[in-house]
Amino acid sequence: MVRVLDERGELDPASPPAPPDSELRYFYLWMLTVRTIDGRMMHLQRQGRIAFYGPITGQEATVVGSVAALGPQDWVFPALREYPAALMRGMPLSHLVHQCYGTALDVVRGRQMPCHYSSPAAHYVAMSSCIGTQVPHAVGAAMAARIRGEDTVAMAYMGDGATSEPDVHAALNFAGVYRAPVVLFCQNNGWAITVPVERQTAASRLVERAEAYGMPGVRVDGNDVLAVHRVTLQAVERARSGGGPTFIEAVTYRMLGHTTSDDPSRYRDPAEVEAWRGRDPLLRMRRFLEARGLWGDEEEAALLARVQAALNAAIEAAEAAPRPPLESLFDDVYAEPTPELERQLAEARGAGSREGAHG
Ligand SMILES: Cc1ncc(C[n+]2csc(CCOP(=O)(O)OP(=O)(O)O)c2C)c(N)n1
Ligand SMILES: [Mg+2]
Atom index in ligand 1 nearest the CA of residue 165 equals: 1
Atom index in ligand 1 nearest the CA of residue 131 equals: 26
* 42 Cβ neighbours under 8 A, 6+ residues apart: 53, 55, 256, 260
Q: How far apart are CA 136 and CA 180, in angstroms?
A: 11
Q: Where are the alpha helices (DSSP H) in the chain?
A: 21-46, 60-67, 83-88, 93-101, 134-147, 166-178, 208-212, 225-240, 270-277, 281-291, 297-320, 339-357
Any residues with Cβ below 6 Å from ligand 1, and which? Answer: 79-81, 129-131, 159-162, 189, 191-193, 254, 258
According to DSSP, the β-strands at 191-192 and 195-196 are: antiparallel
Could you give all domains of the chain from N- to C-terminal order, each with its CATH number?
21-324 (3.40.50.970), 326-359 (no CATH)
Cα of 165 vs centre of ligand 1, distance in Å, is 10
pLDDT score of 193: 98
Cα of 238 vs centre of ligand 2, distance in Å, is 26
The one-character DSSP state at 152 is -
pLDDT in tens, the chain (359 residues): 999 999 999 999 998 889 999 999 999 999 999 999 999 999 999 999 999 999 999 999 999 999 999 999 999 999 999 999 999 999 999 999 999 999 999 999 999 999 999 999 999 999 999 999 999 999 999 999 999 999 999 999 999 999 999 999 999 999 999 999 999 999 999 999 999 999 999 998 999 999 999 999 999 999 999 999 999 999 999 999 999 999 999 999 999 999 999 999 999 999 999 999 999 999 999 999 999 999 999 999 999 999 999 999 999 999 999 999 988 988 888 999 999 999 999 999 988 666 554 44
**21-25: long-range pairs with CB below 8 Å, 24+:** 21/292, 21/294, 23/68, 24/226, 24/285, 24/288, 24/289, 24/292, 24/294, 25/289, 25/294, 25/295
Cα of 54 vs centre of ligand 2, distance in Å, is 12
Mapping DSSP to helix (H, G, I), strand (E, B) and coil, where does residue 129 land? coil
Answer yes or no: 258 catalytic: yes
Give the number of other Cβ atoms within 10 Å of residue 291's Cβ: 13
Answer yes or no: 53 catalytic: no
- The residues whose Cβ lies within 5 A of ligand 2, an ion, are 159-160, 189, 192
Q: What is the pTM of this model?
A: 0.95
Cα of 116 vs centre of ligand 1, distance in Å, is 14
Give the number of other Cβ atoms within 10 Å of residue 17's Cβ: 6
The mean pLDDT value of the chain amounts to 96
Choose, from 111, 199, 267, 343, the residue flagged as catalytic.
267
Mapping DSSP to helix (H, G, I), strand (E, B) and coil, where does residue 311 land? helix
Residues 92, 211 contacting (CB under 8 angstroms): no
Which ligand neighbours the alpha carbon of 159 most closely? 1
pLDDT score of 354: 66
Buried b (16+ CB within 10 A) or exposed e, 119-157: beebbbbbbbeebbbbbbbbbbbbbebbeeeeebbbbbb
Amino acid at 106: D
Atom index in ligand 1 nearest the CA of residue 188 equals: 16
Q: How far apart are CA 196 and CA 248, in angstroms?
A: 19
pLDDT tens digits, one per residue of 119-149: 999 999 999 999 999 999 999 999 999 999 9
pLDDT score of 359: 41
